């Protein structure tokens, strides 16, 4: 609970590629809804992005772009604390302390580490300890709830384990045990060309995802060429018709309509009709977002001001937690 009496929410996205419909539907759409009633902290995880090699100039540009996309998607910097992870050194400080409590065996079992390291030649230690930094992001703000997509479930479990290891070493009641908040619908949007894997912003095949800032032409092309099956009847069957089920889920969340109602609307119609209408819906949903985004990107100074505002708001909770952690772990807290 925060000073305002509101529960604390924290979530973020790693600055790689561009935000996709998966990120929007699985996470940011929920962040937006929560901003009215909770004390929300949303950040862009640029330190996490460094776990894979980044071109420095491109990384900085992408940080501005992600920040602008958060705002354009409807996150209000006055209602929320919106900030850049690396502008808050407290994250890395707490991460180190938590790293010293986390057994290597648990990190070895992380499926995202296994997947990512299988595709990388030089596996760095940051890729391995990535979930501990994520736990620090959450615990630093004593967050009650963390709205994420389904793919972050295992990282959230590790974060909860870290709280227990911390309690075993230093006693109970210091760090808040956070809960994952995973939406019922759209928690795992699948890749358009391969509905057996999740839509990912770092996918090498850009036909697999729709990015928030894709042009209408691109969106139309990507959705029209999405993989479906050879049947023609529009029914929701994630096992046998995974590609179609994925399109129906996207339709249902963006159109705020149940999957059953959508299937009824397409009785006697072909998949092509559904794809064309879905493409229109995505384009229409993203149109105001893209206009807003283009405007915001014209004024980087303004974005930097908002980043500084976010960091100064974030520092209030972060410095309190870190001071408490320094005290109980035997480190000497800095004078403020």
Are 319 and 336 in contact by the 8 Å Cβ rule? The answer is yes
Q: Which is nearer to ligand TYM, 136 or 325 (CB)?
A: 136
> Shortest distance, CB of residue 330 to ligand TYM, whole angstroms?
27
Q: Which is nearer to ligand TYM, 161 or 265 (CB)?
A: 161
> Shortest distance, CB of residue 172 to ligand TYM, whole angstroms?
23
Task: Say if residue 14 is exposed, middle or buried (CB neighbours under 10 Å; 0-12, 13-18, 19+).
Answer: buried
DSSP state of 207: G
**Active-site annotation holds for 201:** yes
> Shortest distance, CB of residue 237 to ligand TYM, whole angstroms?
19
* Phi and psi, residue 204, nearest 5°: -70, -30
**Active-site annotation holds for 6:** no
Alpha helices, H only, 14-110: 21-23, 29-34, 46-49, 56-72, 90-99, 104-108
Are 212 and 19 in contact by the 8 Å Cβ rule? The answer is yes
Nearest-angstrom CA–CA distance, 217 and 223: 10
> Shortest distance, CB of residue 176 to ligand TYM, whole angstroms?
13
Among the listed residues 33, 79, 116, 224, the single catalytic one is 116
Contacting residues toward ligand TYM, per CB under 6 A: 10-14, 22-23, 25-27, 45, 48, 134, 137-138, 146, 148-149, 151-152, 187-189, 198-199
Q: Which is nearer to ligand TYM, 116 or 265 (CB)?
A: 116
The residue among 183, 189, 110 whose CA lies nearest residue 148 is 183
DSSP state of 25: I
Q: Which is nearer to ligand TYM, 47 or 283 (CB)?
A: 47
Are 42 and 75 in contact by the 8 Å Cβ rule? The answer is yes
Q: Which is nearer to ligand TYM, 118 or 332 (CB)?
A: 118
> Shortest distance, CB of residue 44 to ligand TYM, whole angstroms?
9
> Shortest distance, CB of residue 98 to ligand TYM, whole angstroms?
13
* CA atoms lying within 13 Å on the CB side of residue 46: 21
**Active-site annotation holds for 116:** yes
Q: Which is nearer to ligand TYM, 25 or 274 (CB)?
A: 25
CA distances to 34, 89, 127, 163, 171 from 84, in Å: 20, 10, 19, 24, 31
Among the listed residues 6, 7, 176, 198, the single catalytic one is 198
- Residue 40, classed as helix, strand or coil, is strand
Q: Give the active site residues.
A: 116, 198, 201
């Amino acid at each position: 609970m925060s000073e305002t009496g509101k529960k604390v929410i924290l979530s973020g996205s790693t600055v790689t590629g561009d935000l996709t419909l998966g990120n929007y539907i699985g996470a940011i759409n929920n962040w937006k809804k929560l901003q009215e009633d909770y004390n929300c902290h949303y950040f862009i995880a640029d330190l996490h992005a460094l776990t894979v090699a980044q071109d420095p100039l491109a990384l900085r540009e992408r940080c501005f772009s992600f920040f602008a996309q958060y705002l354009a998607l409807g996150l209000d910097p006055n209602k929320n604390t919106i900030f850049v992870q690396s502008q808050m050194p407290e994250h890395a400080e707490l991460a180190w302390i938590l790293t010293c409590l986390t057994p290597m065996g648990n990190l070895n079992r992380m499926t995202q580490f296994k997947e990512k390291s299988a595709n990388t030649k030089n596996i760095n230690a940051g890729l391995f300890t990535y979930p501990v930094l994520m736990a620090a992001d959450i615990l630093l703000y004593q967050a009650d709830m963390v709205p994420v997509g389904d793919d972050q479930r295992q990282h959230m479990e590790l974060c909860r384990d870290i709280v227990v290891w911390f309690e075993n070493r230093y006693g109970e009641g210091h760090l808040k045990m956070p809960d994952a908040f995973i939406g019922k619908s759209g928690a795992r949007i699948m890749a358009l060309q391969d509905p057996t894997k999740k839509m990912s912003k770092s996918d090498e095949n850009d036909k697999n995802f729709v990015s928030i800032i894709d042009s209408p032409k691109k969106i139309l092309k990507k959705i029209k060429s999405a993989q479906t099956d050879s049947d023609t009847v529009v029914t929701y069957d994630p096992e046998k018709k995974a590609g179609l089920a994925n399109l129906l889920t996207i339709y249902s969340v963006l159109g705020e309509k149940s999957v059953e109602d959508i299937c009824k609307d397409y009785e006697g119609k072909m998949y092509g009709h559904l794809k064309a209408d879905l493409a229109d819906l995505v384009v229409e949903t993203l149109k105001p977002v893209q206009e807003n985004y283009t405007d915001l990107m014209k004024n980087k100074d303004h974005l930097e001001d908002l980043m500084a505002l976010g960091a100064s708001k974030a520092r209030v909770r972060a410095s309190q937690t870190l001071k408490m952690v320094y005290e109980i772990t035997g480190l000497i807290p800095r004078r403020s």
